[in-house]
């Protein structure tokens, strides 16, 4: 019986460590990341997208819109800095927008505005499109890999601290 408890404890320990490590794992494959040019920042790409044509980059952010065309889907993304898990951070910081071209159908109901996305893509240059009342030069990527993050629910704080008066009435 003592051996069974030890074995059960060992199995739970291994599963716990594996769960913790997988929660911290990047969402883009190691093979995909090998092709990445880590020297290219979003600010550099925004300055001169044609200079980086053919290079592989990793960016993410918040989906602004999704347009489906015959045989492809275009996703407009508001760039956000990525955290250690390659997820767009929740902050009011962005250096601009970019377009991602998927060579297949991606449902706009799923790839909806507000969802977070991480994309490993090959730079295809730029595309100038209207943005409100101006022309905006969007860096264009063709997706090699991507990760659409689960929608976040506003659960409130993870803890609550309060001071008050308590009592029992009978």
pLDDT tens for each residue of 50-97 = 999 999 999 999 999 999 999 999 999 999 999 999 999 999 999 999
Q: How many Cα neighbours within 13 Å face the side chain of 169?
A: 1
Percent of the chain with pLDDT over 70: 75
The region, left, alpha or beta by phi > 0 then psi within -120 to 50, assigned to residue 44 is alpha
Cβ(32)–Cβ(46) below 8 Å:
no
- Confidence class for position 165, pLDDT limits 50, 70, 90: low
Topology of domain 26-148 in CATH is OB fold (Dihydrolipoamide Acetyltransferase, E2P) (2.40.50)
Give the model's confidence band at 158: pLDDT under 50 very low, under 70 low, under 90 confident, else very high.
low
What are the sequence ranges of the domains in the chain?
26-148
**Biggest distance spanned by C-alpha atoms of the chain:** 77
How many helices and strands, by DSSP H and E, does the chain display? 3, 5
User: What is the token pair recorded at 75?
Assistant: 């996703």
> For 3-26, what is the mean pLDDT?
54
């Amino acid at each position: 019986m003592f051996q069974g408890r030890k074995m059960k404890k060992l199995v739970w320990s291994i599963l716990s460590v594996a769960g913790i490590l997988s929660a911290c794992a990047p969402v883009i494959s190691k093979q995909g990341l090998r092709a990445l040019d880590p020297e290219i920042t979003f600010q550099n790409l925004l300055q001169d997208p044609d200079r980086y044509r053919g290079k592989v980059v990793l960016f993410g952010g918040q989906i602004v819109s999704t347009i489906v065309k015959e045989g492809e889907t275009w996703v407009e993304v508001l760039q956000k800095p990525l955290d250690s898990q390659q997820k767009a951070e929740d902050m009011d910081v962005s250096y601009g927008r970019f377009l991602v071209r998927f060579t297949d159908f991606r449902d706009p109901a799923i790839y909806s505005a507000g969802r977070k996305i991480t994309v490993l893509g090959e730079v295809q240059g730029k595309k100038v499109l209207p943005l409100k009342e101006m022309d905006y030069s969007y860096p264009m990527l063709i997706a090699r890999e991507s990760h659409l993050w689960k929608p976040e629910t506003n659960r409130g704080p993870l803890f609550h601290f309060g001071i008050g008066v308590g009592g029992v009435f009978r």
